[in-house]
Amino acid sequence: MKFKLNDYIIEYEVIRKDNKNLYFRFDENCKLIITAPRFISDNEIKNLITKNSSAILKMYEDSLAKSERDSLFWYLGSSYNVTFDNRIKDLKFEENNIICHDEEALKKFYDDECLRIFNEEIVICKKCFSNLPEFRLRIRKMRTRWGVCNTRDKIITLNSELLKKDVSLIDYVIIHEMAHFFEPNHGKNFWKIVECAIPDYKERRKKLRH
């Protein structure tokens, strides 16, 4: 099913459940998913779409923008278009483009860069602390956290998605996790330690959320 909103043709799907309320959301394909109570008629749903058109339009444009961002390859705060060419042996950058052999080569580049960049920045960030214990680095993709510090086992885990961010934001996360070796909680003393190393940590923290 589809409807027109401004200059957009929006596809939508109605899912009926035993809910009391009706909910709008867009999925990863920019389709509007309407979760509706079983007792609401199709005409009532159409009226609610019209009544909430401004909010739906904003949600749709946000969904389009996210879809566009996700289609690009992000590396250290910059976005690139990716071109696969099986004649290419080594990955190379050309202006706003990355040219590589195939998807596997691109993944290997990303994984190798995570290890290289994160370790290089850890060496730099260590200089902000004295008496910092030795720790191991782990890298994995995490859905809800940029980093985790296991103070007992002396392990800092960094989200591989961090490689998409500017180096200044990578450094903030590393400093943040290192600070937990001195203060396990996010109390005033913890943020004083972070601020001592990164005076503009609030600005960097805010940028990480976008």
pLDDT higher than 90, residue 69: no
pLDDT higher than 70, residue 196: yes
**What was the pLDDT predicted at 93?**
95
Contacts for 136 with CB less than 8 Å, ≥ 6 apart: 154, 155, 156
Average pLDDT of the chain is 94
Contacts for 16 with CB less than 8 Å, ≥ 6 apart: 36, 37, 38
pLDDT digits (tens, 9 = 90+) for 7-26: 999 999 999 999 889 999 99
Q: Between 112 and 67, whose confidence is greater?
A: 112
| Type and span of the H or E element at 102 | none
**What was the pLDDT predicted at 168?**
97
Q: Which amino acid does the sequence have at 205?
A: R
Q: Which amino acid does the sequence have at 87?
A: R
**What was the pLDDT predicted at 66?**
76
What's the pTM value of the predicted model, to 2 decimals?
A: 0.72
Q: How many residues does the chain have?
A: 210
Question: How far is residue 12's CA from residue 31's CA, in Å, rounded to a whole number?
Answer: 5
All domains in the chain, ordered by first residue: 2-70 (no CATH), 73-104 (no CATH), 117-208 (3.30.2010.10)
**What was the pLDDT predicted at 162?**
98
Position 150 confidence tier, pLDDT thresholds 50, 70, 90: very high
pLDDT higher than 90, residue 110: yes
2 closest CA partner among 64, 41, 60: 60
pLDDT higher than 90, residue 135: yes
pLDDT higher than 80, residue 67: no
Measured CA to CA in angstroms, residue 10 lies from 35, 51, 61, 63 at distances of 16, 16, 11, 12
pLDDT digits (tens, 9 = 90+) for 173-184: 999 999 999 999
**What was the pLDDT predicted at 97?**
93
